[in-house]
Each structure stands twice: as structure tokens, then as C-alpha cells.
Structure 1
Amino acid sequence: MTDDFESITTKLFSNGLKDILAEGKIGIEKESLRVTKSKISRKKHQPSLGSALCHKHITTDFSEALLEFITPPFVDKNAGLSFLDNIHHFVSHNIGDEIIWPFSMPPFIESDDQIPIASYGSSNLALFKTTYRNGLSHRYGRAMQAIAGIHFNYSLSEKIWSSEFFNNKQKNSSTQRSTIYFRMLRNLHRMNWLILFLFGASPIVSKNFLSNRNTGFQKLDRHSYYLPYATSLRMSDLGYQNIHQSNNLAVSLNSLQEYIFDLKQ
């Protein structure tokens, strides 16, 4: 398939795939810190929220205080958002005097000791998950791993693979499916800057993320600085797109084979 964009768009609409594309499923994984008095909570994951190891929709990420809300995949986008909203309400009513921190960048952190690593129990799986997080702590630092984010999961409708649009001999093969998904990934990667420009909402960072790199930043209060006109410092080299980390994680999106090869390096 070497068609240009205009040709592909024409085929999509002429083959009636517009409605099929709208039937793709979306799932969301949203991370949020539990916070007390503008500091990361040191309390354990509340039993009233269920087991962080086993719960399908409410768990923890790197830190014991870093909640992760997981929705099932939905075709109806509004239903997915409602499900996420319901999780938020449930958690808010079951964490006492704590609040769900509304920003991706953490509040002020004096030291890594203030960020408790997630604990899941004493089973083999639980110990493995905690050990893995200890490894992340040593490699990147706890402050970096305490940065929250949203993972957006998307899958095409199964109907699309049997449509006339994929009319070559490999139309049902896993190879073609991988090819299409990697094309989508490359487009997202290419246009990622625009998504951050339009929807980024993290212009403020706590001073512990700045070190000596505070050129252009203005002081908001004794712990926080902001960059005028900034959109997503979370995805800058101050946040989760740390330049040292990015240089070590150059992963190809050309094909599944190259992707797997780079991940193994």
C-alpha cells in the first residue's frame, strides 16, 4: 500500500469506512497522586479502594501514592469518560482528608524519601512489581517517576479488516495489522507537538525539577515556578521527556521487528 494521503482518504470514504472507523475502541489509564496539604501522601493504599495488585480499575503506578485509574475499552467515547468520572468520585469519597492532585507535575518534593514506592503484598507477583519499581528508582530517580500522565489506548474495529479497503492477499494477517498500527503510531509521533500545543496544561513546576535550569522561569510562590506561554512542561526536558532518558530510549516505529529489536537493546 503506497497510496498517498488523498488517495487513502478517498478510498476510506468511498468504501464506507467512515462509520467503521468511528467504531474503534478507546480505553484510558489515568495517573493521579494522592496529596495531603500539598505534599505527596505517605499513607498506604486504602483497603476501601480494593487490592492494588488485583483490582481491574483502581491500582497504583510507581508510587504507593500514585493512583492509576483504568477504564475498559469503549466504543462510546462518552461512556468511557463517564466511567472514568465515576472512578474519580468513588476514590475521592474513600481517601479521607486526602485529595486527588489535579496536575501531572508533582507538588514540591524535598527528597526522594518523600515518595514511597508502591507495595503490593508478599506474593511472587507483588514482590516482582515492587522490585521493578525499585529498579526505576535507581535508574531515573523517584521524582521523575512520580510525574503523572494519561495513557490513551485505541484499537480499530474488527470490521475494518474484512472490508474491501484491505483487498490484498494479506488482508487478515497479523503482519498487515501491525503495519497499519505502526503507520498510525508514526502519524501520532509526527503530530505530537500539535497535540501538546493545543491541549497541554502543565505550565508550572516545583523548584526541585529546575535545579540550575531556571532561565526564563518566573516565581509563583516559594515552591513553584512557571514559564509564560508554556503548555506542557510535563513533556519537556524538565518532565517525563528528560533528555538523558530520551537519548537512551530511541525506539523505532518503522516496523514491529525494529520496535522489538530496539526495546531489547
Structure 2
Amino acid sequence: MESIEAIIQQQQLAGKLFGGFFGLEVEQHRVLTNGKLSRHPYPAAFSSRRHNPYLKTDFCDNMFELVAPPVQGATAAVQNLKYLQQIVNDHLAADERIWPLSIMAPLSADDLAFATTFNTRQWMADYHDYLGAKYGIARELMAGVHVNFSLHRDLIAALFAASGQSDLAAFKNHLYFRLAQGFVAHRWLFTYLFGASPVLANPLKGMPDNLAFPVRSLRSSDFGYTNFSSETITYSSLGAQLDQLKRFVAEGKFYSLHEFYGPVRLKSRGANSDDLIAHGTERLEFRAFDLDPLSRAGISNDTLNFLEVFLAYWLVADQEADLTEADEKNQAVALQHPHQEFDWTKERGLALLDNLDAFVAKYGAPKEYQA
């Protein structure tokens, strides 16, 4: 197979590089004006959370999960999310507000007990209780944004046709897993740029007592929204990852494949690994983004555009992701004081930004990506 860069240039596919689709999922808490978790029931006007594709709840009934459908480009994706958030705001009680941060405000023992039982999704009751017992209630109450991303279908089709391969599912899995590896290798930079969970009000299970605050992103650290460090899932290869996940489920370490809390997951039509092998990856689900308190939607156009530029660059770049100490690098950046930085952070970050700058210039990216 010719290089991806050569195929894109020969077939004039540069425009498709920046034509990806985003679907956003955001978790946000309803709180009362006195600072406590909202005791108001889930709005009946939203109908069944089991069947409504857009309006759901997560760990407890006051924790909204809004699912914006996929659309092309960051601007439209954020706008879709804002539409759902407006619907939610229109149905809040007079004494309710939406908490804008990933980490909750100080919660009383009564609040934590209430969150433990305030779950009327009976079909999820066993999983809910399992997560609370294993990870602790405070960790399960962490909120954030899940970014679903897919490459333009025409781009995938052209690359597949030029590859000479016969298995489209395997080709898509290889392509998307390579992007996932690139993100994992450079997750520290995304944590550096977009981390926004600096303090902690409610103790987390397994967190050391001597951790100094503020930090850059507690949620992005080993003590945040992730599996325990002893149960870290590999990104060395897709085969190794799927084998490890199946083994963890079979051994009872994971409740199901849904318990994989890695920074990025490959998603197919169905919910199990057999679907992934049979049909191939449909999208990547990035789970490493804190709520952005400076964006009304919880995530900004700029964040999504930067992610897309990085993924487009990594798709074309003829290099393998260096996963050596990737978790350690992200952990160090996540738990660093936000006003500090390592020498290697600056050196590697600026080098990558220079590469991205040259990349968008070479491929004539739209101005929002150049900016």
C-alpha cells in the first residue's frame, strides 16, 4: 500500500481530512441553590431514559447524560449539545442549577448516601451498585465530556480501495486503533491544554492523603475517571487489548466490557468485541475531557478542532506511537500544579505544535484549524 499521504495527494482528498463527524455526550449534575444535590425527580417530560436517545441519566438521577447526535464539524456538534442543554434548562425546578465543573462541590454524608440510592433506572441497578461499591460514590459522581469522532466515510473508502486489502472491518480497526494509540501517546498534551479539575472536595477511594492541590486535572489522573492502575488495559495492539478485556470479564475483574474506562475506546455497531471484529470500528470515543467551565456547552469548538487537527496529522504521519511511559507522563502532568510545567512538556509540546502548524498549511486546512 502506498503511504496515506501519497494517496491523499493523488486523489485530492485533503478536504476530507478536516471533514470528520462529532457526537458529544456530556455528564452534568443538577444541584440546588443551597449547594446540595438536587432531590427533584428526573423530569417526566423527558420520557423513558431507557429509550430516549438524547436525554438520559448516569450514576444517579440528578446526573444528566446528554447525548447529541453526530454531525459534521465542531461548530455544529457543540450547537447540537447546546440545544439539548437548553431543553434541560427549561425543565429545571426554580431552585435547581447545573453544576459547571467535573468535580462536585463539598457533599455531606447525607448527599453521598442520597446519591447512592437516587437511581430509578432499575435495569441498571446491579451495575450501579457494583460501581459504587468498587470505585466509591465520589469517583462515580465525576462528570465530563465523551467525544465521539469518525473520519469522513469517503476518506476511509478511498484509503481502503487503494490499500489492496479485502477485509474492510479489519482495515477500519487498524486505522482507528492507530489513531487511538496516537492519542494515548500524547494524552499528556491534551491534559495540559484542557485539564480543568484542579481541586477535590470529597475524598476519593485509594487516593493518597498527601496529594497537594491545586492540580491540573484530577479527573485525568490515576485517581480520577479511570480503572484502577492494577487493571490498566493495554494499547499495544487491538488483539492484545481485546484479549485482556475478555479475560478481565471472564475472571470477574470487570463487570462487563462497559467497565473499560480507558482514555479512548473503539466503538462498533454493537456492544461487544465480536461486533468490532465483524463490522469494524465506526467511531472513536474519547473519554479524557474534563468539563470546560469557560464554555457554556462544557466543551468548546477550539478543543474539538484541535483534536481533529491532531487526528488528521496522526493519520497522515508515517510514525508509530511511542507508548513508553505514556501513562506515567500523563499522570505527572495531570497532578502537577497548573502554573508549573516540565522542561520536556514544553520541548515536546512546541515541537508537536510546529508539526501541526506545518501540516495545516500544507493541506490548506480551513481557517478555524489554522487559528
TM-score by length of 1: 0.82
- What is the match of residue 97 of structure 2? 99
Q: Which amino acid aligns with 1:258?
A: A
Which whole-Å CA distance do the structure 1 matches of 2:216 and 2:138 have between them? 20
Structure having the larger proportion of residues in helix: 2
8 Å contact kept, 1:110–1:208: no
Q: Which amino acid aligns with 2:45?
A: S
Q: Which amino acid aligns with 2:29?
A: L
Cα 1:94–1:48, aligned 2, differ >3 Å: closer, same or farther? same
- What is the match of residue 237 of structure 2? 254
Please state if 1:130 is matched with 2:132: no
8 Å contact kept, 1:31–1:68: yes
Which whole-Å CA distance do the structure 1 matches of 2:12 and 2:57 have between them? 42
- Deviation at residue 142 of structure 1 after TM alignment: 1.5
Please state if 1:236 is matched with 2:221: yes
Q: Which amino acid aligns with 2:49?
A: A
Q: Deviations over 1:235-257 (max 9, x none)?
A: 12342246xx13213233512x3
- What is the match of residue 47 of structure 2? 50
Compare 36-45 and 157-166 and name the one that shifted more.
157-166
CA RMSD in angstroms, aligned pairs only: 2.3
SS across alignment from 1:197: helix
- Deviation at residue 17 of structure 1 after TM alignment: 2.2
Partner of residue 192 from structure 1, selected from 177, 187, 193: 187
Compare 180-189 and 79-88 and name the one that shifted more.
79-88
8 Å contact kept, 2:136–2:204: no
Which whole-Å CA distance do the structure 1 matches of 2:222 and 2:153 have between them? 38
Identity of aligned residues (%): 28
Q: Deviations over 1:153-210 (max 9, x none)?
A: 0111221233157523216621111000000000011111101101111112215349
TM-score by length of 2: 0.60
Unmatched segments (≥5 aa) in structure 1: 121-126, 218-226
Counterparts of residues 24-173 of structure 1 (less than 5 Å): 24-36=20-32, 37-96=34-93, 97-111=95-109, 112-115=112-115, 116-120=117-121, 127-163=122-158, 166-170=161-165, 173=168
Q: Which amino acid aligns with 1:99?
A: R
Q: Which amino acid aligns with 1:237?
A: D
Cα 1:249–1:44, aligned 2, differ >3 Å: closer, same or farther? farther
Unmatched segments (≥5 aa) in structure 2: 249-371
Which whole-Å CA distance do the structure 2 matches of 1:172 and 1:162 have between them? 12
Cα 1:101–1:249, aligned 2, differ >3 Å: closer, same or farther? same
Q: Which amino acid aligns with 1:246?
A: S
- Deviation at residue 117 of structure 1 after TM alignment: 4.4
Q: Which amino acid aligns with 1:158?
A: R
Cα 1:73–1:215, aligned 2, differ >3 Å: closer, same or farther? closer
Cα 1:237–1:39, aligned 2, differ >3 Å: closer, same or farther? farther
Partner of residue 13 from structure 2, selected from 2, 10, 17: 17
Q: Which amino acid aligns with 2:78?
A: L
- Deviation at residue 259 of structure 1 after TM alignment: 2.3
- What is the match of residue 124 of structure 1? none
Q: Deviations over 1:91-137 (max 9, x none)?
A: 112111211110001121233313144322xxxxxx33222111111
Which whole-Å CA distance do the structure 2 matches of 1:156 and 1:235 have between them? 25
Please state if 1:263 is matched with 2:256: no
Which whole-Å CA distance do the structure 1 matches of 2:51 and 2:11 have between them? 43
